[in-house]
Each structure stands twice: as structure tokens, then as C-alpha cells.
Amino acid sequence: MKKILITGANSYIGTSVESWLKAFTGQYFVETIDMIDGAWRKHEFSQYDVVYHVAGLAHADVGKISEEQKKNYYKINTDLAVDTARKAKAEGVKQFIFMSSMIVYGESGSYRNPKVINRNTIPQPSNFYGDSKLQADMGIQRLQDEEFKVVVVRPPMIYGKGSKGNYPILAKMAKNLPIFPKVTNKRSMLHIDNLCEFIRLMIDNEECGVFFPQNKEYSETSILVKLIAECTGHKIFVTKLLKPFVRLASFVPGKIGALVNKAFGNLIYSQEMSVYSKGNYQIVDLNESIKKTEC
């Protein structure tokens, strides 16, 4: 039986993975620990085979953060993560799994300029949040050796029932707007069930390295909106007639252009980066994932 410690009590990803693993009766022993105060430093890590580190500060409105708050991001997202990995290594934990993020490659491509990330793409964070994740990502990788395996996971946007972030904003529009633009774009996304199964495979196969899990299919904002509306019984008219207005709005500086590019921008991992030959983690397709999230 594998013994796993998940850092970050009550986090969306942590609780989801905990529930997922516990469903495999008798295969995993899972505990979570709160990282808010320093009590975790006295917790004995040597009893675990794996530490899965998900604790951290989530993405914020980078334009409304003080210098003091920025320092706190590095304190929690970088220093805490690396310190946790060092403790795990020092106490004989065999594998450390760190939740990094696609954000280490910067913001998404715009409506007009798609952004495709491949294995040769060099991480270039565009703000302090992305940099705080990258510094932890790289710092933890340097701790790896034959006795201490490190898995760094750089997922795209994670979504599912109860998730936070950009997905609920999109879902709110899908459930309330009468009309929405039909615009072709591509986004890499990762449903929570696919992530949970991916983490399980990382543990079972005692993996090490940097990984880029994503759904089997790319997502398109217009299709997502339509699927969400259908699932919730809301009638929405998705039309190409609004496409010229979207294009024009993407040129507008400030909030309007930023909102358009955020909604209809293009940001994907190349599919070959996300293939995992030792097991299938892409167990939920896009249609089913929306049903599981909304219905």
C-alpha cells in the first residue's frame, strides 16, 4: 500500500485527488496536512512514500497587488514549496510531486496570434505569479537524485464541479447570455478527473520528470459555452455574425482588448507533449467533462 501525504488541506485539487485515491480501496493510504502555520515542519514525513505538494497562492489580478503581497507569493509559492521538498528528501520520502502550472510559459496567445507550446519552448513568466511557480518548479527539480524522484506537473486550466478560476466565469456567461460569438480558437484544458487519474499513474509508476497533462481534445470557447448552456437548459444563440466585432475589439487597448483576448485567445500544448505511454489518464472526454461539471 502506497502512503501519500497531500499538502494543502481543503484545496480543490488536493481534496479531489484524495477522494480519487481513496476510491481504490486498500491501494493507498492518504493524509492531508495544513501548511498555513509552521506545524507541518514537526510532522514526520518519513512514514510516507509520496508527498504531493498542492499548497500555494492562486493566480491573482496582477495589476492590483502591492509589493508586500508579491513577496508573499514568493514566500508561499516558492520558498514553502522548496522547503517542503527538502524536508521530504531529508526524511527519506521516495517521490515528490509538485503542482506547477502552464503559467510558467507566460500568458495566453491573443485572438490573432495563437500560442503553441512544445518541448523546446523555454518558460518565460510574464508576471510575479508565474515566476513564483517557476522558481519553485526549478528549485525542486534540482533536488532530484536516484533516491528522490521529482515529478513536476505543469497543467493548463483545471476545471470540474466546484472549481474556481476562469471556468466559473465562462460558465456564468453561458448560463445567462442570450447570444454569444462563434469564434474558432484552441485552448488546452484539464478536467479534474483526468488530473486525478494522471497523479495516480505518476504514483503507481514511480515516475520522475516534467509532465504536461491535458484533455485529449482542445477546447473552443464557443463550443464550451454551447455545451454548458445545453447542459443547464439555457437557450443561447451562438453566431458567426458577431465574429467581426470580436476581432475589432481585440485591437482595443485596455480592459476591452484584454477581456477579448482572455476569452478567445489561443494557448495550447502540442498533443505529443501530453501522451503518457504507461497508462491512459484521459478517461473523460470534453462532452462528458461538461456534464460531470454542470449537470
User: What is the C-alpha separation between 131 and 199, in angstroms, rounded?
Assistant: 24
**Residue 256: Cβ within 10 Å count:** 13
User: What is the C-alpha separation between 121 and 115, in angstroms, rounded?
Assistant: 11
Amino acid letter, 282: Q
User: What is the C-alpha separation between 206 and 2, in angstroms, rounded?
Assistant: 11
What value does the mean pLDDT take over residues 256-270?
Answer: 88
Per-residue pLDDT reduced to its tens digit, 94-139: 999 999 999 999 987 877 788 999 999 999 998 999 999 999 999 9
Q: Which of 99, 101, 129, 140 shows the shortest CA–CA distance to 16?
A: 99
Global pTM? 0.95
Q: Which of 175, 165, 206, 140 shows the shortest CA–CA distance to 2?
A: 206
Could you give the domains of the chain?
2-164+189-217+270-284 (3.40.50.720)
Per-residue pLDDT reduced to its tens digit, 41-64: 999 999 999 999 999 988 666 667
Per-residue pLDDT reduced to its tens digit, 28-43: 999 999 998 889 999 9
Question: What percentage of residues in the chain have a pLDDT greater than 90?
Answer: 82
Say if residue 290's pLDDT is above 90. yes
Query: Using alpha carbons only, how large is the chain's radius of gyration in Å?
Result: 20
